[in-house]
Amino acid sequence: MTGEELAAIRHRAGLRQVDLAQRAGIGRHAVSYWENRPRVDLRAWAVRRMAEVLDLPKPPTRSAHPSWQEEADRLAEAAFVAQVARIKARAEAAAAKRRVPCGAKTRKGAPCRCLSEPGKRRCKFHGGMSTGARTPEGIERIREAQRKRWARWKAERATPNA
């Protein structure tokens, strides 16, 4: 059934949109909405209320075409899950790029007004950038680099300059 057919049935019953809405216990905008749809879902709440007033045909039951209905329900659910996943991914991407005021206490005691690093809560001056290695391999790599540096420094100090 199309929205035009619904409007024609309402006209044949001699009702205005406002009258149908009042008798069905719905808003006039709901009547207008369904009359402007290319396809009217007879299972919708507002349409069922209008059907009681206008004697519209009953919606098909689930048992009429169970395989078709199950497939339609499965596809609708899959589309909904995919849409939710896209919304979550978009929100996570926005959170990863978000920059907020740092707010750390500066040397003068005032809150820092710099923006944080993307996705973090502190600016580059107050810990938003990397604060060093965290894995045992990375820590050992830094230790070895420090040993070499200090060995070079000691070697330079030990040899007198000529």
pLDDT, tens only, 97-141: 888 899 899 889 999 999 988 888 888 888 767 667 889 999 999
pLDDT at 145 over 90: yes
The count of C-alpha atoms lying within 13 angstroms of the C-alpha of 44, restricted to the half-sphere facing its C-beta, is 14
Can you tell me which residue has the tokens 């409007």? 7
Question: What pLDDT, on a 0 to 100 scale, did the predictor assign at position 134?
Answer: 85
Q: If pLDDT is split at 50, 70 and 90, which confidence band does 162 have?
A: low
Residue 10 inside a domain? The answer is: yes
Residue 134 inside a domain? The answer is: no
CA 45 to chain centre: 27
43-93 pLDDT, tens digit per residue, is 888 988 898 888 887 766 655 556 777 788 888 899 999 999 999 999 999
Determine the average pLDDT of the residues in 132-159: 91
For 131, which DSSP code?
-
Residues 6+ apart with CB under 8 A from 98: 118, 119
Residue 90 inside a domain? The answer is: no
Residues 6+ apart with CB under 8 A from 96: 118, 119
Residue 126 inside a domain? The answer is: no
6-28 pLDDT, tens digit per residue, is 999 999 999 999 999 999 999 99
The range of the structural domain enclosing residue 40 comes to 3-54
Residue 12 inside a domain? The answer is: yes
The total domain count for the chain is 1
Residue 43 inside a domain? The answer is: yes
Residue 147 inside a domain? The answer is: no
Q: What CATH number should be reported for the domain holding residue 47?
A: 1.10.260
CA distance 10 to 23: 12
Q: What is the pTM of this model?
A: 0.38
CA distance 31 to 157: 92
Residues 6+ apart with CB under 8 A from 9: 54, 56
Residue 105 inside a domain? The answer is: no
Question: What pLDDT, on a 0 to 100 scale, did the predictor assign at position 60?
Answer: 60
